[in-house]
A and B are shown apart, each in its own frame.
Chain A
């Protein structure tokens, strides 16, 4: 890597870090000066809405299987169904994920053996 590219890497790294850090400092300062206290009520409403929407968007992006064929999509639907069912019963974080991955993997392997 040339010196120029090393500098580019460091600038990209520093920039990415500042994109993550500076809004925190801004928000902390805003909460301190807010007369609504330092809790969630000091957050602007658009930010309260946007947070869950970002998580939903991250879910949407991750839904596309690595191999987007019929087996991949079928396994995704079944995996999500199993995840949801186990979450419904356990209301936990870990078990639904384990069950979902196992179901997804089972369907993919079965489909690859059949085709």
Chain B
């Protein structure tokens, strides 16, 4: 029916927007920190917004402004920024089987952050094809705009905000681990998957605690994958090697 297509697209868009709401709890406080640090490093508000809008990759943005402010060679600053973002290489291929034909996907890939990937990897296979582009658009747009808005807040009034509501910046980021926990738990479908996923979580935690935050995600994921291939535990239920969790 001609009338159902816009409704479905709109409901997908709205659903994506709603389901990405928990991301704001993590994005806005971190973006405020970035805006604050960026202006303290000598970047103007407009420059801070351009970096957040165009590069749009949390950890590497902190590195970029830090190195630029300390006078590091520009080629090294750019190279390390890209190196940190290399982990994104495996995100789009993991989503590709669930992306229906659309000319929007190349543009939407700008919004493929760690968190949007984690959400999309679980939700896209569960959605009807007609809702997927809209869903991704809604989720990615909300995340992107919240990152830009948070950077603006941080650049303009970051110091005032963090001194006025210090607890808010401490409590709201918990939305991220809570969301990721909900996304990961359904994947504990067998002892083999449980062991590999646990190794990945633990390795990432240890890397972060020891200051290896920038390589924590790819390194921990590699440890988990290695564990998956190396161990052969008896299955309880669920798909095994090569199957989806």
The residues of A with any CB-CB pair to B shorter than 8 Å are 1, 4-5, 8-13, 15-17, 19-21, 23-28, 31, 38-40, 42-43, 45-68, 72, 75-76, 79-80, 83-84, 87, 93-94, 96-97, 100-101, 104-105, 108-109, 112
Q: How far, in Å, is A53 (CB) from chain B's closest CB? A: 4
Q: How far, in Å, is B133 (CB) from chain A's closest CB? A: 14
Max chain A Cβ within 10 angstroms of own Cβ: one of B25, B90, B203, B241: B90
A112 to B207, CA, bound (A): 28
Interface residues of B in 41-80 (CB under 8 A from A): 43-44, 47, 50-51, 54-57, 60, 64, 68, 74, 77-78
- In the complex the two chains form, is B47's CB within 8 Å of A13's CB? no
The residues of B with any CB-CB pair to A shorter than 8 Å are 18-19, 21-22, 25-26, 29, 43-44, 47, 50-51, 54-57, 60, 64, 68, 74, 77-78, 81-82, 85-99, 105-106, 109-110, 112, 114-115, 117-118, 121-122, 125, 167, 169-185, 187, 193, 196-198, 200-205, 207-209, 213, 216-222, 224-225, 228-229, 241-245
Choose among B177, B201, B225 the residue that contacts A49 (Cβ–Cβ < 8 A).
B225
A53 to B221, CA, bound (A): 5
Known: A104-B174, A108-B171. A59 touches B19 (CB 8 A): no
A84 to B87, CA, bound (A): 28
Determine chain B's interface SS by DSSP, over half rule: helix
Determine chain A's interface SS by DSSP, over half rule: helix
- In the complex the two chains form, is A58's CB within 8 Å of B109's CB? no
Max chain A Cβ within 10 angstroms of own Cβ: one of B85, B96, B176, B209: B96
Choose among B82, B171, B172 the residue that contacts A19 (Cβ–Cβ < 8 A).
B82
A43 to B51, CA, bound (A): 34
- In the complex the two chains form, is A19's CB within 8 Å of B89's CB? yes
- In the complex the two chains form, is B204's CB within 8 Å of A97's CB? no
Q: How far, in Å, is B165 (CB) from chain A's closest CB? A: 12
A/B interface sample: 8 pairs, CB < 8 A: A16-B57, A45-B242, A47-B93, A48-B242, A53-B225, A57-B221, A59-B201, A100-B181
